[in-house]
Amino acid sequence: MQTAVSALSGKNVVVIGGTSGIGLATAIAASQLGAKVWAAGRSAEHMDKARAAAKAAEANTVQFVQLDTHDEAGMKALFSSIGTIDHLVSAATGGTRTLKPFIEQTQEQFEAAFGKLWGYAKVARTGAPFVARDGSITFVSGAPARRFKPNMSALSAVGGAVENMVRSLAVELSPVRVNVVAPGIIDTALFDWMGAEKNDRVAAMTAGQLVRRIGRPEEVASALIYLMQNGYATGTTVDVDGGQLLS
């Protein structure tokens, strides 16, 4: 009998936005499962911390690469140097996290949030020719794609667009599988701007959820790993959100 999942041993895995948070947790998990991993991000600061985290986790097959997801030539050079990519992930933020009442936000602020969609589109366009026919592409949307709250119109519009792009790419790029993970509120650098108030504010944000705590990046990474390993999953969205969609 065949197993339902494939091991990642010896596979080539690329994680754009792999130097912090969800992407870094995914890069580390893939390495621990035997993959050779390229993890990319822009800042040296994130990269230094990520290198230390990978070392501490004994994720010895992660190579960190300085790269902007909007730099298509840079991505093409990376992908060409790898040759065949088995699993291509982007968890890069790529755009502004615009949180504003709709009628107060400027068109520029609204458009800036779509940097995330354009970044993912560039990863898919540049990366697809390098992805193995039995490989996968996976992106990260977010609960606001289908859970609507005030001040989140930009996040909701972008998240919905990412999820729809994933479904259309799953059809067009078949047999390559294309999927998306939708996290809820996850403990990453995304909330560092809250400073000393972070714990209290996050507790308030998650109090009404079915799982009353912030999520861990590793919990989202396990969904990204599942979508790499399960050869029958395509065009699908995996929610890892503590039940936020039902709260």
* CA 176 – CA 181 distance, rounded (Å): 17
Of the candidate residues 51, 68, 216, 222, the single one contacting ligand NAP (CB under 6 A): 68
- Least distance from C-beta 91 to ligand NAP, angstroms? 4
Q: How many CB atoms lie within 10 A of CB 85?
A: 24
Is 126 a residue that touches ligand NAP (CB under 6 A)?
Answer: no
Is 190 a residue that touches ligand NAP (CB under 6 A)?
Answer: yes
Catalytic choice (20, 90, 136, 141):
141
- Least distance from C-beta 84 to ligand NAP, angstroms? 22
Identity of residue 202? V
Beta strand 62-66 with 85-90 is unpaired
* CA 142 – CA 222 distance, rounded (Å): 16
For residue 153, the surrounding DSSP H or E stretch is helix 153-173
Residue 7 CA, chain-centre distance (Å), reads: 20
Of the candidate residues 35, 113, 178, 185, the single one contacting ligand NAP (CB under 6 A): 185
**Which residue's CB comes closest to ligand NAP?**
21
- Least distance from C-beta 241 to ligand NAP, angstroms? 8
Q: Residue 175, preceding bond cis, omega within 30 degrees?
A: yes
Nearer to ligand NAP, 47 or 170 (CB): 47
Of the candidate residues 35, 54, 140, 169, the single one contacting ligand NAP (CB under 6 A): 140
Is 46 a residue that touches ligand NAP (CB under 6 A)?
Answer: yes
Residue 136 known to be catalytic: no
Quick check: 71 and 48 in contact, CB under 8 A? no
Interaction pattern, residues 13-32, with ligand NAP; x per rule: CB under 6 A: ---xx-xxxxx---------
Quick check: 244 and 143 in contact, CB under 8 A? yes
Residues in the chain: 247
Quick check: 29 and 7 in contact, CB under 8 A? no
Is 91 a residue that touches ligand NAP (CB under 6 A)?
Answer: yes
Residues that are catalytic: 141
Which residues make up the interface to ligand NAP (CB under 6 A)?
16-17, 19-23, 41-43, 46, 67-70, 91-94, 116, 119, 140, 142, 183, 185-186, 188-190
